[in-house]
Structure 1
Amino acid sequence: MPRFSNIRNSAQIMVIGARGIPNVEGGAEKNAEALFPRVVKAGYMVDLLGLASHLRGKEYEGVRLHPAPHLTFWNTDKLLYYVFALRKALGLRPDIVHLQGLGAAIFLVFYKVLGFKVVVRYGSADYILGKWGVLGRLGFRFSEWQLRFADAIISVTPALSRRLAQRGIVSNVHTIPNALDDAAFVASSHKEVAPYILVVGRVTSQKNILTLIDAFNLFAASHPDYELHIAGGLDDRPYYAVVAEKLNDKIRLLGKVPRNEVPSLLSSAKFFVNISLHEGSSNASLEAISHGLPIVLSDIPENRDIGLADTIYVSPNDPEAIAAKFHAVTEDPTSYIVDKQRFLSWEQVAEKTLDVYGAVLRKTSKEVGA
């Protein structure tokens, strides 16, 4: 797949914004784990700067891993990391700085002033939710405003592309959704006795866990054999404290689950649920589709962009409607299974990303030639 090796075979990409790879929880991390080894195979050199606590080696499938320090304050563990990343970029002088999320774009203008070519992956605008507080939202808004100065933006959903268009950011935007996993990733041998509904995602207000629990309890009144399994980190301690008050013996919080163990959970689940209030291009939902699981999704623009049948969607704010949808899935599960053929593979996502890199590098070559 070395499509642009004839342009700059040794072009170097520096990735900033993913906590680490492999098997690190999070959408930016899943995307990085799947994408950048394929970019390496295309002939590029890729250096990924992760948090020291989330890296387990110096290399992953050709991607060179660099540890960075971090300190948690203002509800984020990445601010010091972003400062360190800027310094690291000055040392490495990559051909392209790839910012793997909106937060990573906080210093975008600085990268441009220093002469870097910058590609930004715009994976979510979850700062619209209240969990970030005033300073957090201001930081994300500033990052979003700076996107107009990026050499290219990779938006993971049409809804996010439309959001940028409303802000006058159009010409440098490319819509590239996440992909389905291949068969090697979805193989599993996990078995469970009780039938269960599976949710994969951090226990946060964005994932709408409180409403989900209310809906499940309504559903369980007529389906007492079912359990609800929630696989995701419990990092938001105040929100978790509220969730904990609603737990019962039918609801299992599994905590943070390594990505390579998620297929085992998916293989034995009866169906998958994502009733988030906000999403990007949900990797968890795509993984469920990869497994051929029946799915239920919240009726929000980012999930609607997937383009599934109306029956799959449900209001994320209506526990009774969600419970009724759960019942409908148990009655006719095949109607909630999605055709896999309509989605991109990770090879296709890599090809589209390489198109973006190639265009940036060709523009650089023309500027140098001029």
Structure 2
Amino acid sequence: MSIINVMWAGGAPFASVHKVHNQILSRMEPAMPVKTWLLQGSAAACQVDVGTALEWNMTSARLKGRHIWRLLKPLMHSRFRQALLDSQARVVLLDGVGVARTLLPVLKHLPQIRVVVVFHGATRINPAGRKLLRGFPASRLALAAVSETLAMSLRDDLGIQVIALRSALDPAAFQADLLPREDARDRLGLPRSGVRVFGAVGRLVDKKGFASLLEAFGRAAADHPDWRLVIVGEGPTREALQARIEQPDLLGKVLLTGHLEEAATLYRAFDWVLVPSRDEGLGLILQEAVLAGIPVLASDIAVFREQLGDTGWYAPVNDDGGWSEAILRAAEAPAEAVALAQYRALAPDEAWSSFGQVARQLISGSQ
């Protein structure tokens, strides 16, 4: 049996999605061959190793059947069908509703292939999308979401079964790559001692909440010249964030590093990790920080409470004042004790084992 792993695109915006799919595929039997399809972009642009890849180089307009491409959709479907037959695939793993809309009409007529669709975040599913998912043979289709919170939301929306495949990381492998505190701070250009460092990691987009975080940190750090905030990531809001940190109240206190390939190795540079997201399907940054032994202060959203429960430290979503107060409280808290409690709540070893079991069941069709 072989697997086709179909992704919308490569590149930094899709790095966490590729990471989750890689984790799913890593739990399969080693002898099971996998080929990745990229509907857009190149394998070289991916932030993780996708192995053997077929690059389709299609535009969004073509994939969505816009304008003249609507007339050429049968030709596109024919190409996909032939490629699937040539691959001799028995399982196809699809990245979210956009890829499902593109491939399910073809896969519906290939009864030898099972399909798994993985949802990574909240998404608007239009009536045509609901009809497509509900109309696909249930015996050959499995829908999975990267958290129970997201799975429940999708079940309510679609009215069909959605399995919770809470994404997890291999604790031993992740921790083996972590740099010691001093080395991580050196890599970021930070003093090894004498400063308190708050870290945040993610794409620089509005939903990650970094603009609000800057306002909150500016207030909290006003009387603390030894405090620093490091934001690791790249994205379209960088210019606006850079302009804000050049204002007097933040000047010299905030570092925007841009994208760093080794970001996951640097968590021990931080005293606290701040996750101000407005919405998340899961939030791998929270898991990575906890695995690194760093306490987390996160937005008060259901998916974070799902993972940390009462051990989580939470601040109101997109509330500058609430976040400022929470940062000040966190700075006074026993960080090691908080980190230990959060680690126990996340239970990374059990989570990794459970993730592997559910992933194998999804691919094999035994769920």
Alignment partner for residue 45 of structure 1, among 13, 33, 53?
Answer: 33
CA contact (8 A) 2:96 2:117 kept: yes
Q: Output the CA distance in 1 between the equivalents of 2:260 and 2:131.
A: 34
CA drift of 1:270 comes to 1.0
CA contact (8 A) 1:35 1:346 kept: no
Q: 1:90 to 1:245 in 2, by over 3 A?
A: farther
CA contact (8 A) 2:147 2:281 kept: yes
Q: 1:342 to 1:117 in 2, by over 3 A?
A: same
CA drift of 1:206 comes to 0.9
Q: Output the CA distance in 1 between the equivalents of 2:61 and 2:199.
A: 32
CA contact (8 A) 2:315 2:326 kept: yes
3-state SS in 2 of match to 1:245:
helix
Q: Output the CA distance in 2 between the equivalents of 1:142 and 1:198.
A: 42
1:209 aligns with 2:204: no
CA drift of 1:112 comes to 3.5
CA drift of 1:181 comes to 3.5
CA drift of 1:277 comes to 0.8
Q: Which residue of 1 aligns with 2:281?
A: 280
3-state SS in 2 of match to 1:308:
helix
Q: Output the CA distance in 1 between the equivalents of 2:274 and 2:90.
A: 41
Q: Which residue of 1 aligns with 2:244?
A: 246
The letter for the 1-side match of 2:133 is L
Q: Output the CA distance in 1 between the equivalents of 2:268 and 2:148.
A: 30
CA contact (8 A) 2:27 2:359 kept: no
Q: Which residue of 2 aligns with 1:220?
A: 221
1:334 aligns with 2:332: no
CA drift of 1:296 comes to 0.8
Q: Output the CA distance in 1 between the equivalents of 2:210 and 2:359.
A: 33
CA contact (8 A) 2:296 2:312 kept: no
Q: Which residue of 2 aligns with 1:96?
A: 91
1:352 aligns with 2:341: no
TM-score, with structure 1 as normaliser: 0.77
CA contact (8 A) 2:242 2:256 kept: no
The letter for the 1-side match of 2:336 is T
Q: Which residue of 1 aligns with 2:249?
A: none
After superposition, the C-alpha distances for 1:232-264 in whole angstroms (9 at most, x for unaligned) are: 122x2xx33432331233221111221xx1233
Q: 1:359 to 1:72 in 2, by over 3 A?
A: closer
Q: Which residue of 1 aligns with 2:143?
A: 153
The letter for the 1-side match of 2:347 is R
CA drift of 1:27 comes to 1.8
- Identity across matched positions, percent: 22
Q: 1:103 to 1:37 in 2, by over 3 A?
A: same
Q: Which residue of 1 aligns with 2:6?
A: 16
Q: 1:117 to 1:283 in 2, by over 3 A?
A: same
Q: Output the CA distance in 2 between the equivalents of 1:298 and 1:284.
A: 13
Count the aligned residue pairs.
Answer: 325
Q: Output the CA distance in 2 between the equivalents of 1:68 and 1:232.
A: 27
Q: Output the CA distance in 2 between the equivalents of 1:218 and 1:206.
A: 21
Q: Output the CA distance in 2 between the equivalents of 1:100 and 1:145.
A: 18
CA contact (8 A) 1:25 1:256 kept: no
Q: Output the CA distance in 2 between the equivalents of 1:265 and 1:152.
A: 36
1:119 aligns with 2:103: no
Q: 1:165 to 1:71 in 2, by over 3 A?
A: closer
Alignment partner for residue 185 of structure 1, among 164, 168, 174?
Answer: 174
CA contact (8 A) 1:34 1:346 kept: no
CA drift of 1:205 comes to 0.7
The letter for the 2-side match of 1:184 is A
After superposition, the C-alpha distances for 1:259-291 in whole angstroms (9 at most, x for unaligned) are: xx1233201111111111110111111100100
User: Which ranges in structure 2 are unaligned for 5 or more consecutive residues?
Assistant: 247-251
The letter for the 2-side match of 1:147 is L
Q: Output the CA distance in 2 between the equivalents of 1:354 and 1:54.
A: 25
After superposition, the C-alpha distances for 1:5-30 in whole angstroms (9 at most, x for unaligned) are: xxxxxx11111126459x98622111
3-state SS in 1 of match to 2:331:
helix
Q: Output the CA distance in 2 between the equivalents of 1:164 and 1:147.
A: 12
Q: Which residue of 1 aligns with 2:160?
A: 170
CA contact (8 A) 2:118 2:145 kept: yes
3-state SS in 2 of match to 1:183:
helix
Alignment partner for residue 105 of structure 1, among 96, 100, 109?
Answer: 100
CA drift of 1:105 comes to 1.7
Which deviates further from its counterpart, 199-208 or 312-321?
Answer: 312-321
Q: Which residue of 2 aligns with 1:132?
A: none
Q: Output the CA distance in 1 between the equivalents of 2:197 and 2:129.
A: 40
Q: 1:165 to 1:49 in 2, by over 3 A?
A: same
Write out aligned runs for 1:308-323 (5 A).
308-309=309-310, 312-323=313-324
Which deviates further from its counterpart, 340-349 or 160-169?
Answer: 340-349
The letter for the 1-side match of 2:343 is D
After superposition, the C-alpha distances for 1:212-244 in whole angstroms (9 at most, x for unaligned) are: 11111111102221121111122x2xx334323
